[in-house]
Each structure stands twice: as structure tokens, then as C-alpha cells.
Amino acid sequence: MTKKEMVVILAILKEAFKDFQVTETRTSLWYDLLGDLNFKVVQVAVKKLILQSPYVPTISDIRKQIVEIMHPIIDAAEGYGEVRRAIKEYGYDYAPEAFEGMSPLTRKVCEYIGWQNICLSEEPSVIRGQFLKMYEQLNARQQENALLPERLKEQIKALAGQKALTEKEM
């Protein structure tokens, strides 16, 4: 998105919320934290948020809405439904084929738990509980990661690398 397009987004918010003030500082901050996104997607997210709430959306609200729009969430129960269908259709011996029909997050959880462990468990309710908990944790982590601009992710990764180097020296 360009800075000019950001001004359009802020103008939409100003029209919807009369107390919302557009300043150069606000424009720069919002552009810094939303400028990596597609203008049309931001526009849709802002309009949706205007319709959903009487309060001015924050940058965080907008990014969360964009993640929801661009990456619809399959909940943990649906993910486990994928697993049950795959077990019935492919069974123990055909894990690669079973994984092909699963959503990426469901597949990742199955790989972590182990397909054989899932299929051969004598305690399916325990496996189901483990699956649901792990799915929700990984989903939350993915959603949180999707909220961050790529530039910020790179800065965090660089800082984490510096910290690791410093800890090795100790």
C-alpha cells in the first residue's frame, strides 16, 4: 500500500468516526504498521470493522481482521474430523495419502503426535484431547505470527539471533 492509499483509509475512518483525528504522526505510524498490506484488503477489513463495532478500530484490530479474511480458520473440532475421516479411508498404513487430504495445520498436528499413535491408540479420547489442545496452540501461534509485518518478523529474528550469540559468550 502507498502512503496516499493510507490517507484514504484514514479518511474512511474519519468519516465513520467523527472524533477520529488524522495527523501526520498518525499517518506515519499507521503506514509503518499497515503499509506492507494490500490496499483493497485493508479497505475491506476497515469497512467490515466499521460495521461490526461502534468504536474506532486499532491497527491490531485491522491486522486481525485481515488474517481472518485471508486465512479462514478451521477450528480444532473440524481438524479432528479430518483425522477421523482419514483414519476410516486410509488407516494405519497409508499416512502420506491420508495427509494429502488434510489442511496444513491438521497434518502438522498429526505429524507431531504420530500417525501410528493416532491410529493405534487404545484411548481415542486421550488422543483427541491431545490433538485439540495442540491444534489450538499451533493455530494461535500461526495467527499471532500472521499478524506481524514481515519487516518486524525479520527484526525480531535478528534480535533473537543476537541474544543467542550473547548467551553463548557467557
Calpha distance 165→55 (Å, rounded): 44
Which domains, ranges and CATH numbers included, belong to the chain?
Answer: 3-70 (1.10.8), 76-145 (no CATH)
Amino acid code (one letter) for 89: E
Tell me the pLDDT tens digit for each residue of 77-94: 999 999 999 999 998 888
Pick from 12, 127, 133: which is nearest to 62 by CA?
12
pLDDT value at position 168? Answer: 59
Question: 46, 62 in Cβ contact below 8 A?
Answer: yes
167 confidence band (pLDDT: 50, 70, 90): low
pLDDT at 159: 85
Give, as one character, the DSSP assignment of residue 17: -
Distance CA 89, CA 92 (A): 10
Report helix, strand or coil for 102: coil
% of the chain residues with pLDDT over 70 = 95
pLDDT digits (tens, 9 = 90+) for 10-67: 999 999 999 999 999 999 999 999 999 999 999 999 999 999 999 999 999 999 999 8
pLDDT score, position 150: 83
Residue 168 — φ and ψ, nearest 5°?
-65, -35
**SS3 call for 141:** helix
